[in-house]
Amino acid sequence: MPTIKDVAERAGVSVATVSRALNGVPSVDPVLAKRVHAAARALGYRANGVARSLRRRQTDVWALIISDVANPFFTAIARGVEDVAQQAGYSVLLCNADEDAAKEARYLEVAERSLVSGVLLSPTITGSDIGRLQASGVPVVTVDRNLSEPVDSVLADSATGAFRATEHLLEQGWRRPACITGPRQAATAEDRMRGFLDALARHRIRRGRSLVRHTNYRADGGREATAELLDAADPPDALFVANSELALGALEELTARGLRLGRDIGMVAFDDAPWAAFIEAPLSVVAQPAYEIGVEAARLLLDRITAARKRPSDHPGAPAPPRTVLLGTRLIVRESSRRHR
């Protein structure tokens, strides 16, 4: 691989001039600039990004650490982030924490070591530690889930979405809805359970907590929780499910038992997965604006990065306080939640 030195030799100028010409510094003699570009092209020169980063103490990449690549909700976020990033000249490094706090921590460390210029994170647990990153001045924005410590974040209004979904089930005449939600430490899992419980309380249904199951945010968890609920002494007649992966698991179990949605059991799930409209009884869902979440988060990050550049380590003003963008959800009623007899 040719280096800047090779280009300099071939163009008959110093490395400094090459660097300036290639980086578009205006004060370079156009004639020399032309020679430099020609030489670079002839040699197939490509700047060594690593050396550049070392010197600039910053890279043009962001890390996007999501909790589960297999979940279409998160990949939609990724697209939103990516579109904004590309536009602004950044590349995004997508990391899959796989709902595993240890994996997440590893990626957080990689991000730190690699001098990424920003991190977008959907924290596996509310206690995820971004302290080191923050300390080294790397802007962090959380998506989908927030942390216990305050930090820029873009969230959907889970609690309200869950409340409305549950209320909708109740209004349809289902008497005993249960809730299958994610791990206790996941912010969204708590919020959605909260919305569910509030709706039950509002309708004077007692002992709501006994109708809640916490599990991992994956299909297998959804299946197990469904089985457990149905095998209980007083089984539910409807399900509020906290994401589309869990819904897939619930569907499996219901199908295995020959239970038909909308007749034998009602269901609403979070996330409008691409398949939701096509299953036997099309699935009613709480749709989150996933792509927009990605876009907004990327904008927040961009803001922080440019703000940091303006205030380079000395401090003519404290950094802006953390901002939270809360986006609304939309209840899409299809067949699974309607009561047929």
Binding site for a second copy (CB under 8 A): 1, 44, 46-51, 53-54, 59, 61, 69-70, 72, 75-76, 78-79, 82, 86, 91-96, 98, 103, 106-107, 109-110, 112-115, 132, 136, 219, 248, 251-252, 255, 273-275, 277-280
Which three-class secondary structure string do you get for 76-89?
HHHHHHHHHHHHCC
Considering the rule CB under 7 A, would residue 4 count as an interface residue with DNA?
Answer: yes
From the list DNA, a second copy, none, partner contacted by residue 79 (C-beta under 5 to 8 A by kind): a second copy
**Cα distance between residue 122 and residue 158, in whole Å:** 14
Give the interface segment with DNA, choosing from 25-33, 63-71, 232-240, 276-284 (CB under 7 A).
25-33
User: By CB under 7 A, what part of segment 33-62 binds DNA?
Assistant: 45-48, 51-52, 54-57
From the list DNA, a second copy, none, partner contacted by residue 14 (C-beta under 5 to 8 A by kind): DNA
DSSP tag of 261: B
> CA nearest 211: which of 195, 193, 224?
193
How far CA 296 is from CA of 95, 123, 144, 261, 304, in Å, comes to: 19, 17, 11, 36, 13
Confirm if 325 and 153 have CB atoms less than 8 A apart. Answer: yes
Alpha-carbon torsion (109, 72, 85, 320), positive or negative: negative
CB of 111 to a second copy, least distance (A): 10
**Cα distance between residue 127 and residue 146, in whole Å:** 9
* Site size for DNA (CB under 7 A): 28
CB of 261 to DNA, least distance (A): 57
CB of 163 to a second copy, least distance (A): 27
- List residues near DNA by CB under 7 A: 1, 3-5, 13-17, 19-20, 22-23, 27-29, 31-32, 45-48, 51-52, 54-57
